[in-house]
Structures are given as structure tokens and as C-alpha cells.
Structure 1
């Protein structure tokens, strides 16, 4: 478990960065979107390494698109990314009323229908995920699993912001599955982010956009052990607001086949990406771990061993 982050535990650089975000909270959203667009264009051109990763990901996932469309999508991705970044000032330091006006909910009844039983909120890595997650904690205490070992100022502020409406139960991934199942059985909804490459040891290979992709099969296992229902939850930036969409709880899940259940999860995420292609986090090396013998997809030489 992890102790909650408070203002007093922040480092001095994190406190100075917090002042900047506190000032940003006063900017109206149209101006934040304008500044985010300008900053996003600069980042697209000034960070070629990440631009390369994003373009490779889009080429792999959308091979039928013309290259111009992939580049336009990635540029929009950077603009949305920077808008979300600048809007953290409102999310972290604005009054609760401002946050509730900033983030709108759709399909919230799907969560309310099952909230009295163990629930896993399936939250793929869309750029607005913190906005939906933090608003959810304003009404429902819960738990989440984290893997980051970084302690840079921005990560400190992320943890502080995620605790602003009540400290969630933070569970380290290397603590294993037992504390997660215990939290579910105690009634803490689990905010679960499933779609990162965590290496061969923790993963199985299942299709994602037709590519064999190292995927953690934790969702069906946690749902089974915790007797939990899965409610997907995706947050996107639309106009000057964020929209959190809750989807109906999955039926007949998990089944008897962990691989099939993990494929179902990837297929759901893939469809949501097709709905909002510029708002998925494309800068992560999602296809880094390859089946043995396959070449690296990001330009490093030699096959995976």
C-alpha cells in the first residue's frame, strides 16, 4: 500500500509547479484550448523521438489510412494532450463545483445499477482518464493499482490531485493480487488501467488491431476472484468540456477462457479508439514486447529473445 500524498509531503519543486497550475485554473477553457493547441504543435515538432513512436503506432493500427491522415491524427493528439495538461490546474485546484461543470457524465446509470456489488471500472489510457477518475472519487471512494516508481514533481502532483476528494486506496502492482481482491470484496470499486506493455513476464499475447500484443490478463482474473462486474469508463475532451462515458456492465464475464476474456477487453478498447482516434495515448511503446523471434517494431535491431 502507499501513503496518500499531501501538500506537506510534496517536494519544493512540486510545490513551485503547483503554483503554476493553481494560476492556470483561472484561465477560461477556450483560452486553455488555444494555448494547448499552440503548445501541442510545438511538442509535435520539437520531440522527434516521441513523434516517431506515435507514428509507428498509428501505422500499425491503421495501415489502411493514408500517411497524411495518420500525421494529422497525431498532431491533434498532441493538441489534446497539451490541453489536458494545462487544464489540470482546474481539475486539481478548482472548487468542486468547477470540476463538476468541467466534466460531464453519460451513462452514469450503468455504474449506479451495480455500485452495491464489487465493481471494476475499466479505464483505458485515453488522455482524459484523470478527469473522469477524479470526478468519480468525488462521489465514490475506491482503489487503484499503480506501477510508477518515479518521484518527479509532476508525478507528485498527479498523486495529490487524485486524492483531492478523499485519498483512494493505492495498491502497488508488485504487492500482488491479494490486496486488490481484498479491496474489491470490501466494496472499493477498482479503477483499472489495463493497456500498457508491462513485459513478457506479466503478459499473454492476444490481438490488438490485428497485432499480437503483450497484454496483462489481470481483468478476468480479478473479476473472477473478486466476484466483480466490469463497467467500462472512457473520458474524452469534447469542446470545452470532458465527457465521461460509462458503458453497460459486461455480461457473461469472465468466461472459462482467460485468453478469450483478454481478447474481448482488447476488442472493446480498439472500438473506443476508433470512436476517438486522436485521444488514445499513442506515445507509449504499446507493441514493444514481441513474441519470441519477432523483430522489434520501433527500430531496434535484432529479434526478441
Structure 2
């Protein structure tokens, strides 16, 4: 464990009690600095936006890029109070809205349910908001961090409230399906490129993108309902929108299901493009013979 990690976690504990406008103001400043100095990551963001939004002007894409770096920094610093502030403070900054029936089922139901949680910057806030108000067992899948201290800190933060299991990606599908079949919740973030071996190619903004097909497979094998959850960073904290469950999903066609997932995700992104995780190299794995994008 590094001194930097120790100091970073200590810093997050120190700023946890600060007023939210102060934390957000510091995040805005940090985000602007990162947009200026983090050139390799800025090139990734600029490339993603050019590929996905060719119809937007260059000035509009630059604005989205600047905003996305601010949201990156603000949402990261928000983990200070999400994971360390008193429960009353956390609950007061998280507002759950949307489909009333699905919200009730998340809290009190006993049928298997997958919460499709795309990579908006508020994804940790959404998980916290939903798990702190349900006694249902729930699970999330995570990738181990290189630094054991950071890994433990993140895992503890994500399992702080409720009955939450943090499952390691390398553990496979058995614990995932076991939880679903017992009537649990699965908080799933499948809109990523994890390399050729774990993905299939389906369109994302008109470009063939390597996409994890786990939403369709887990829903079918776990006989689970799929409910989208879209998290939005707001001035007062976060607004977590629970959308109606998808009908006629999954089907027997995993590729068609995964393409539909990306299509619906585009609709969510279009409402707030600055808050999507464009810092990820979404198109790093390319179809055979296709030129690299980055």
C-alpha cells in the first residue's frame, strides 16, 4: 500500500463533513485543471465525443468535454460523504424518483431483479440510495484495484448500507446467479469494453462496440426482471431515476438484446451527455480488420 493511497483516503475522510457546495466547488476547480493537464485522457474523451456525436459542432463537443471532467472530479470527491458522512446526511442528498411500482419492488419485493446501471458519474450514489432503503440481499460486481488499501476502501464504501455483497469479476457467474435465484438484486454495469474474450460487437452510436452481454444472459439464467437506473448529479446531491421494467426482455437472442441495451442507453445519454463516462476507451477493442480509433 502506498503513502499516496493512505493520504488520499485520509483526505476523503477529512472533507466528508464539509458543506456540499464547498466539495462541489473544489471538484469544479479540480475538473478544469484535469481537463487542461490530463492530455491523454482528454484525447480519449474528445475522440469518443467525435465518434458518437458527429452532428454536434466542435464547440459543443468541447463544452461537453470540459463539463465531463468537472463531473468526474465532483463525483469522485462526493464519495467522501457517500462513504463517510452520517447516514442522515447521505440520505438527505439522494433523491429517488421515477416508476413507483419498481421503486416499491426494489425496497420490498422478493422477485429476482437486475438494476441496469449505466456508467453515469452518479452510479455509486444510485447504488447507495437504493441499498440503504431495502433489506433485500443485493450484489454488485467489481474489478479488484491494484492497491489493497484502495480496494478495501472502495469495497467498504459500496457495501456500507444494506445487505450488499461485492462480488469480484473473476469469481464468475455462480455467485451472481445464486443471489438472483434467492430473490436478490443485482446492480449491473455492463456498458463497458472488457476485451475481445468477454464481449460481443453491437452498435453504439452507429459504431460496432465491444459490449459485455451479461445483462441478457444474467436476466435469462436468473429469471430476473430488468429495471434501468439512471443517476444524475444535481446541485443538491443526486437524483436517481428508476425507470419502468423492460418488457419482453430478455429474449433468446443475446446479440439482439445487447444491441437493444445500447440503443436504450443512447437515449439516456442524450438527455445529459456530459454526465456519461466518456473517459473510458469505449471503442478500444475493434472488429477484425477495423482500424484503431484511439
**TM-score strictly above 0.5:** yes
Does structure 1 residue 205 correspond to structure 2 residue 201? yes
Q: Aligned equivalents of 1:153 and 1:234: distance in 2? A: 29
Equivalent pair of 1:230/1:250 in contact (CA under 8 Å)? yes
Aligned match of 2:120: 126
Residue 265 of structure 2 aligns with which residue? 269
- Contact preservation (8 Å) 2:204, 2:262: yes
2:287 to 254, 273, 291: 291
In structure 2, the partner of 1:79 is 70
Counterpart of 1:6? Answer: none
**What's the CA shift string for 1:66-114, capped at 9, x where partnerless?**
1111111010011111111222221111111111111111026223246
Aligned-CA RMSD value: 1.8
Which residue of 201, 218, 225 corresponds with 2:214?
218
Deviations 1:274-297 (A, max 9, x none): 011000011111000010000110
Query: Where does residue 51 of structure 1 map in the other structure?
Result: 42
- Deviation of 1:221 (Å): 1.1
Secondary structure in 1 matching 2:197: coil
> For the residues of structure 2 that align with 1:205 and 1:289, how far apart are their CA atoms?
9
Query: 1:260: Cα distance to partner?
Result: 1.1
C-alpha contact 2:158 2:166 (8 A) present in aligned 1: no
Deviation of 1:151 after TM superposition, in Å, equals 2.4
Q: Give the match's secondary structure for 2:176.
A: helix
**TM-score where L is the length of structure 2:** 0.93
Question: For the structure 1 residues 113 and 134, does the alpha-carbon distance in structure 2 shift closer, same or farther, using more than 3 Å as the test?
Answer: closer
* 2:131 aligned partner: 137
* Cα offset, 1:62, TM superposition: 0.1
Aligned residue pair count:
289
Q: Which runs of 5+ in 2 are unaligned?
A: none
